[in-house]
A and B are shown apart, each in its own frame.
Chain A
Amino acid sequence: MLLEPGSFNEHDRAITAHDVLGFKDSQPYSKRIEQSRTNTGVEEAVTWGEGALAGHELVIVCFDFAFMGGSMGAATGEKITNGIEHALHSRLPLLIVCASGGARMQEGMLSLMQMAKTSAAIGRLGAAGLPYISLLTDPTMGGVTASFATLADVILAEPGAMIGFAGARVIQQATYETLPEGFQTAEFLWQHGMIDLVVPRPELPAVLRQLLDLYVRNGVGDLQLEAPAAAARPARVQPVP
């Protein structure tokens, strides 16, 4: 929807969830995966690929909340990390559109460790000087909020989106606190300095264009621009004989 028509080139379409632990609650996890596949037509809760936006090539990773509540399991984490590493190796900016209930409990610790895996990859992207924008949509919670989603250089959020770590019900059960009006909404988090901007959907293309223009203007991904500058540097610092 955000990308220039026909510019999206999807990767890893075949990567899909597996029930490694043999997890069963009221239904076996394997059956839940099947239902999600049937209902959504996709194999996992994220889709990623390259595309063009406002004349900039970028890597986009997009969540589908309808697939198991956008929860992050091993295959989800694998696709996200592949997307981040692709941005790193191709020197492209990264956009992640989040919608997730958090870690996928049916994959136990394998799911929790995806937080470490995706965050480590974002760390490498940042060290390489590549910009990362995240767009938090309704809802973004738990282990996704506590990993790559909030590690972006610029964090945007949709109006009214619920964003947080623990759910309001869990907080009320644990503390008996009366939660303030608008608790955990995008606007609430903006007031607390946790996100950069709340962006209504019609304004999103213009905001993304402006950010990409600003952060990519020195030629991210364009090694030809970097090479002469790097070569020129030693000459400047060497003392004249």
Chain B
Amino acid sequence: MSASNGSVASATWQQVELARHPDRPYALDYIHAIFPNFFELHGDRVFGDDHAIIGGPAAFDQRTVMVIAQQKGRTTAERAMRNFGMANPEGYRKALRLIRQAERFGFPILAFVDTSGAFPGAGAEERGIAWAIAENLVALAQARVPIVTLVIGEGGSGGALGIGVGDRLLMMEHSIYSVAMPEACASILWRDIAKKVEAAEALKLTAADLKRLGLADEIVPEPPGGAQTDYGLAADAAAAALRRQLDQLDEIETDRLVDERYARYRKIGV
């Protein structure tokens, strides 16, 4: 843990650092551990292939599921290739293609969220990053298949929500999910990025905070010290939680499933 800004004293900031730990399992680590048969699909069929969002069909027990995930890079070259997990519009449009395909084949959708946010770049704006995210919010709200979202590291803002709307929200024990990353919030509200620790605390962004706020359904336990200490244990716990939630959702008739998903968001903040 870094000792700057008195951050050691902040339990919340320790959670932020764990969620961003460079050795933390990323989406493909979970995917390869949980699904024996993942087949990655590429491209948005409009402009390009964004390696910050990946996805495709995968075998999960007796069913086929559609996996959609945000992927950070481990090495310098991979980090550049994955754009540090910050997707461009193409990533969200590839996700949209997979959402539609999942609906067509009746595959439940499993989304793995891990991004500090959508990519803030000129090209992303020119190609309508906001439009792409908004379209996914509607597609996910209306998709006639069960959807389980699991935040594995950082859930950052609209960029996370762009693949994050669903029937259940699960969070790994040391993951975070926030309307804005603490640095961005500090820079906007305090006009001082050094206030990131205060911002992190004020934002209520830990898994426990989201559970308390009624936004997260379940916290998935991590091995002692965090998921980076034992990928196998972390993936087993994630798989068990995803299986349990999917089994519950399978019992719900489709019209009711979609109505309950609408009601889930409809009641937030009243």
User: Given known contacts A78-B269, A113-B269, is B128 in contact with A151 (CB within 8 Å)?
Assistant: no
Q: Say whether B157 contacts A81, CB under 8 Å.
A: no
Interface size class of B (residues with CB under 8 A): 35 or more
17 extra A-B contacts, CB within 8 A, seeds A109-B213, A165-B158: A21-B204, A24-B202, A25-B195, A25-B199, A26-B189, A73-B269, A110-B269, A120-B266, A126-B138, A142-B158, A149-B130, A151-B135, A164-B125, A164-B130, A171-B120, A174-B119, A194-B131
Interface residues in A159-205 by Cβ distance below 8 A to B read 164-166, 170-171, 174-175, 177, 179-180, 183-184, 192-194
Chain A residues with a Cβ closer than 8 Å to the other chain, count: 58
A184 to B128 Cα, complex, angstroms:
10
A117 to B121 Cα, complex, angstroms:
27
Question: Which one of B158, B185, B204 contacts A143 once the chains associate, using CB atoms below 8 Å?
Answer: B158
Which residues of A line the B interface, CB within 8 A?
Answer: 20-21, 23-26, 73-75, 77-78, 81, 103, 105-117, 119-124, 126-127, 142-143, 145-151, 164-166, 170-171, 174-175, 177, 179-180, 183-184, 192-194
Q: Shortest beta-carbon distance, B101 to chain A, in Å?
A: 19
Q: Does B179 contact A (CB under 8 A)?
A: yes
Q: Does B142 contact A (CB under 8 A)?
A: yes
Q: Shortest beta-carbon distance, A68 to chain B, in Å?
A: 11
User: Given known contacts A114-B268, A194-B128, is B185 in contact with A105 (CB within 8 Å)?
Assistant: yes
Q: Say whether B134 contacts A146, CB under 8 Å.
A: yes
Residues in B with CB closer than 8 Å to A117 are: 265-266, 268-269
Residues in B with CB closer than 8 Å to A81 are: 266
Most buried by B among A103, A115, A147, A148: A115
Q: Does B197 contact A (CB under 8 A)?
A: no
**Cross-chain pairs A/B with CB under 8 angstroms, 22 sampled:** A78-B270, A81-B266, A103-B158, A109-B210, A113-B215, A116-B265, A120-B265, A146-B129, A146-B133, A146-B158, A146-B162, A147-B134, A165-B124, A166-B129, A170-B120, A171-B125, A174-B121, A175-B121, A177-B121, A177-B122, A180-B122, A192-B127
Which residues of B line the A interface, CB within 8 A?
Answer: 118-122, 124-131, 133-135, 137-138, 141-142, 157-158, 161-162, 165, 177-180, 184-185, 188-190, 195, 198-199, 202-205, 209-210, 213, 215, 261-262, 265-266, 268-270
The chain B residue sitting closest to A15, CB to CB, is B270
How many A-B residue pairs lie within 8 Å, measured between CB atoms?
A: 179
Q: Say whether B202 contacts A23, CB under 8 Å.
A: yes
Residues in B with CB closer than 8 Å to A165 are: 118, 120, 124-125, 129-130, 133, 158
Residues in A with CB closer than 8 Å to B138 are: 119-120, 122-123, 126, 151
A115 to B210 Cα, complex, angstroms:
17
Most buried by A among B135, B161, B213, B269: B269
A100 to B86 Cα, complex, angstroms:
24
